[in-house]
Chains A and B, each alone.
Chain A
Amino acid sequence: GAVVSQHPSWVICKSGTSVKIECRSLDFQATTMFWYRQFPKQSLMLMATSNEGSKATYEQGVEKDKFLINHASLTLSTLTVTSAHPEDSSFYICSARLTGGRETQYFGPGTRLLVL
């Protein structure tokens, strides 16, 4: 139980294009999902908290116009990297918290983005 998937698992795109990453909770409903970014050999940094049906809450320093988050249903959140540049290349990981659950986040397998 509590499986989270991400799609795609990896993507290569040209600079200036936009990339959408999907995060799905497969066997549970998630009112809240989280988006993290991880640079090589570093820890996870929270980018934003996504709540179903409302605007995402972004962490300080994260550009909300560049990283668009949509959480339209209880099982799906999307992160769109707009006008991607090489410095946006990273490993993006989402997590989901059970609706009614208060503490445990379940993580997706991650999406590796390479911007050329």
Chain B
Amino acid sequence: AQSVTQLDSQVPVFEEAPVELRCNYSSSVSVYLFWYVQYPNQGLQLLLKYLSGSTLVKGINGFEAEFNKSQTSFHLRKPSVHISDTAEYFCAVSDGGAQKLVFGQGTRLTINP
């Protein structure tokens, strides 16, 4: 069975500072990895995804993530955050077969002015 662990439930940062949201996964098969963002009272928006190929994946809104197979991690980064980045961020994994997504617990990113 697959699982996803987001190591930080809350991450407060100052505006224009860099941020890293951590995600580790466990799976016995090859995986697809995703980061989604959820703004209050809304559904999820895809930020980026890793399917294969380059381990550094660039997404929307200036976010990027790096797939590290040996460390089973898929950390999300942004070099300079903005107030509008305040949201809940979810890491998710699927096994490429049944295509079901397993989500992490979420990380609440709060940007302070």
Q: Give A residues with C-beta under 8 Å from B.
A: 4, 6, 32, 34, 42-46, 49, 93, 95, 97, 102-110, 112
Q: Which residue of B lies closest to A109 (CB)?
A: B43
CB atoms of A103 and B51 under 8 A apart = yes
Show 29 A/B contacts (Cβ-Cβ < 8 Å), sorted by A: A6-B43, A34-B101, A42-B105, A42-B106, A43-B90, A43-B105, A43-B106, A44-B90, A44-B101, A44-B103, A46-B101, A46-B102, A49-B100, A93-B43, A93-B44, A95-B44, A95-B101, A102-B99, A103-B51, A103-B94, A104-B46, A105-B99, A106-B46, A107-B36, A107-B44, A108-B43, A109-B42, A109-B43, A112-B41
Q: Are B104 and A43 in contact (CB under 8 A)?
A: yes
Cβ-Cβ contact count across A and B, 8 Å cutoff: 52
Residue numbers of B with Cβ under 8 A of A are 32, 34, 36, 41-46, 49, 51, 90, 94, 96, 98-106
Enumerate chain B residues within 8 angstroms of A4, measured Cβ to Cβ. Answer: 43
